[in-house]
Amino acid sequence: MKITAIVLAAGSGSRMKSDIPKQYLQLNNYPVMYHSLKTFNESFVDEIILVVPQNDIEYCNKEIVQKYGLKKVTNIVAGGSERYYSVYNAITSIDIEEEHYIFVHDAARPLLTNETLEKCKQSVIEYGTAVAGVPVKDTIKIVDSDKNVISTPDRSTLWQVQTPQCFNAKLLKNSYEKMIQDLQKGNITDDAQVVEKYSNAKVKMIESEYTNIKITTPEDIKIAEKSI
């Protein structure tokens, strides 16, 4: 059995209102991206594929991977213009084996825990899929373009989706290949959506922690500092 982690750190982080991409911002004296890489590096995963902007590959190899001794990072690949292209670039760099699982994680989620990883591992081995998330606490409203409420979905059926999102490697690769060829793919926002749309597999939700936040705004850095 082989497990590969794809860690995505190719975004620009425009909502951070910073000249520095969010994955390089300091969080407790380390770059944001270091924290999840460290968690994977010390876990059961066999290899890590790091995805960064093309121009940052050399920098990340020297100042992140080598500097912090992240020995499980076996390859650094260039990201694409959209998240799904970044994931696809990473997938195509992997030699898919017979019993192989891929964990896709956003580097902007630095508070990933070993407990969540273990839950994902158990589920992906048993079901072929495992997506981290938490039940929604708040009431959700669906609104129109004028911000008028259209409906209120049943909160008990709603989950806030996180990463890692984990899949049988062949299932994920086949789904992504179909998606890339689809000229009418529409707005694809996560890996689960790709598998949902381009395969017959059922996507299994795994309850993670509410602390597994994504660093998106300056306030998130302050929240993460208190939790790490």
Residue 218 pLDDT: 86
- DSSP secondary structure, 79-131, as one string: --SSHHHHHHHHHHTS---SSEEEEEEETT-TT--HHHHHHHHHHHHHHSEEE
Burial class (CB in 10 A: 0-12, 13-18, 19+), 94: buried
For 121-159, the pLDDT digits (tens) are 999 999 999 999 999 999 999 999 999 999 999 999 999
65 has a pLDDT exceeding 80: yes
Task: Please tell me the pTM assigned to this model.
Answer: 0.95
Q: Does pLDDT of 193 surpass 60? A: yes
Residue 125 · residue 101 · CB < 8 Å: yes
Whether 163 contacts 132, CB under 8 Å: yes
CB distance 62 to 136 below 8 Å: no
Give the model's confidence band at 12: pLDDT under 50 very low, under 70 low, under 90 confident, else very high.
low
User: CA 5 → CA 100, 101, 131, 152, distances in Å?
Assistant: 11, 9, 14, 36
What sign does the CA torsion over 63, 166, 27, 216 have? positive
Per-residue pLDDT, 43: 98
Give residue-wise pLDDT tens across range 172-191: 999 999 999 999 999 999 99
Picking from 93, 152, 119, 117, the residue whose alpha carbon sits closest to that of residue 40 is 117
> Is the pLDDT at 11 greater than 90, yes or no?
no
Mean pLDDT (the chain) is 95
* Residue 25 neighbours by CB distance under 10 Å: 18
Contact 13, 22 (CB under 8 A): yes
Give the mean pLDDT of 76-92.
97
**What are the tens digits of pLDDT across the range 158-171?**
999 999 999 999 99
pLDDT (0 to 100) of residue 19: 73
DSSP lists the bridge partners of residue 175 as none
What pLDDT does 227 receive?
A: 83
Q: How much is the average pLDDT of 81-99?
A: 96
- What sign does the dihedral 206-207-208-214 (CA atoms) show? positive
